[in-house]
Amino acid sequence: MPTAALQAGQVVLDSFRLERQLGAGTYAIAYLAQQLGTDRRAVVKVPHPHLLAGPHGREIRRRFGVEARAATRVSHPNLVTVYTVGETEQGIPAIAMEFVDGEPLSTRLNAKAPLPIDQLGALGEQLGEALLALHQAGIVHRDLAPGNVMVRNGTSGLVAKLLDFGVAKLLDAPTRTLGPMGTPGYLAPEQLQGQVTPRSDVYSLGAILWWALTGRERPDDYADGSLRAQLGASQGPDPLSLRPNAPPRLAAVISRMLVPAHEHRLDVDAFLGEWRAALAATAAPQLVPRSGSWSGSDEHRRTTPLRSPTVAVVVGNSILRTLTASYLDSRGDLDIVTCDARELTRANPGTYAAAVLDADLPGVDIRELLQVLSECHEELALVVIGSAEQADTYWAAYGATAFVKLPEELEQLRGVVYGAVGRGLTTGALSSGRLSVPVVEGLRARGQLHASLNGFIGDMPQWIGDLQVALATEPERASAPCRQLLASAESLGLRDLARLARAACAFLSRNDFEGAAAFAVALEREYHEVFPEVFELMMNSGPVETTTT
């Protein structure tokens, strides 16, 4: 049984002379080698001898032989080339592959993330196509991570090459008894149960793109046990929670790649289709290499910028109009225009993709307006907003696409409008990511984060209760707790909570206590939605810091 590592100067696999050890991981050792009779440099990888001597050595050896040979049949510009596989004289399985110049993706992300859109697009598309080639050959990479990707700047932009395909699967966890494998933060939840599917690679690629888009690496959710808790969840995290100004279409795709339940996760074919569509919808023209060639003859295509859909907001009440427009505009991928009913009916067909119409428009028969719009603007999606009492009307009979109760269903308005204009919405919960990252990091830098979060959690329920009691008994005294709610929400950058509080304060300033009461209920609901995120951040922010002066 082999017990010793290979030595410099040794010739393995008939023609590869080892020059020096490049590195060693948990499962394998990599050597720089020169192929005899050529100028070609190569990398020779072998499993650690102690793994072969362990209880699973026979299975590791068997699967290495079967699957490494299968890997030699895969050829793609963004995959490292495998030259040959076999055994050393000591009986150690070995694989010789292309030596790739460039820098590890982890190095670039540490230094430059978030990446520019052209580099982000190229990275996702090229690695996606590399995975597609692997999956079509029946190979799951199983350990896709920034350390296993090399990048360089080609003539048409970033070019990426995936290393070690198949090797991670060959060298680790051939049976469930070996436990989960993969790089923390890039490990798919199902791998904890010994299950590996092609969509496990999509999860890992999603984690890479998360870092490239947000500038923040995914947390080690394996070590802290939270990865196991995610098993079966059907919604992925929202990158906009870390970078609110990121392109929302790209963020939505990444969120769907990170869905914990693999049966609800995108496969690589679906990812490539959605990724290319998201890139094409970005506002600025980008150069996106399709399959970057490491030799320098990179193929590329230029995407065509598409204008964001324009949505008309036709709401009579100025407070509701401002609130509705700000909610729809918060992700930045819709062009929101406020106008009146006359402007909407006189607009040329195709000017607007959708219209949000207030059921209480003063001086307007909303049913008649819907019928006129549906006849003259057949492609226009019509969303009606109104009170609970108006929900009983059969709005579809007048041409409406949907009805949304306000403020009770304000959170659903985005999803309804996005669906009406054919836009995908990030699968993460809408409440996720409402904490402003710049505000939170500013509090952290000043040593005030933990105290601010703790104060918010302690005081907010009391202020909500005071507001509701005042509205029910002494409405003229409701402004004080409402202003406290607004100040507290703004201090943490809780944008949606602050919008609701600001609207409630505006209704109170007009002595519209009924409108303010409706928003008080919405405030309480929003607080319960955002509480888990605030509480988790407080628990992870450490003990109460000393406030600097």
Residues known to be catalytic: 143
| Cβ–Cβ under 8 Å, residues 366 and 357 | yes
State the distance between the two ends of the chain, measured CA to CA, in whole angstroms.
Answer: 66
Q: Which helix (H) or strand (E) holds 44?
A: strand 41-47
Say how far apart CA 405 and CA 51 lie, in whole Å. 62
> Cβ-count burial of 210 within 10 angstroms (0-12 exposed, 13-18 middle, 19+ buried)?
buried
CA torsion 182-188-190-193 (nearest 10°) is 30
Alpha helices in 215-244 (DSSP H): 226-229
Say how far apart CA 93 and CA 48 lie, in whole Å. 10
Say how far apart CA 391 and CA 167 lie, in whole Å. 58
Beta pairing, strands 16-24 & 11-12: antiparallel
Residues 6+ apart with CB under 8 A from 315: 321, 324, 338, 356, 357, 358, 361, 385
Count CB atoms within 10 A of the CB of residue 439: 17
Say how far apart CA 17 and CA 38 lie, in whole Å. 11
List Cα–Cα distances, 546 to 447, 458, 540, in angstroms.
6, 19, 16
CA torsion 443-447-452-455 (nearest 10°) is 180
Phi, psi of 254 (to 5 degrees): -60, -40
Report long-range pairs for 188-197 (Cβ below 8 Å, ≥24 apart).
188/262, 189/227, 189/228, 189/230, 189/231, 189/260, 189/261, 189/262, 190/231, 190/262, 191/142, 192/222, 192/227, 192/228, 192/231, 193/231, 195/262, 196/140, 196/142, 196/169, 197/140, 197/262
169 is in an annotated binding site: no
DSSP string spanning 274-289? HHHHHHHTSSS--EEE
Say how far apart CA 444 and CA 447 lie, in whole Å. 5
Residue given tokens 């995908």 in the structure block: 424
Residues making up the binding site: 45
Residues making up the binding site for ATP: 45
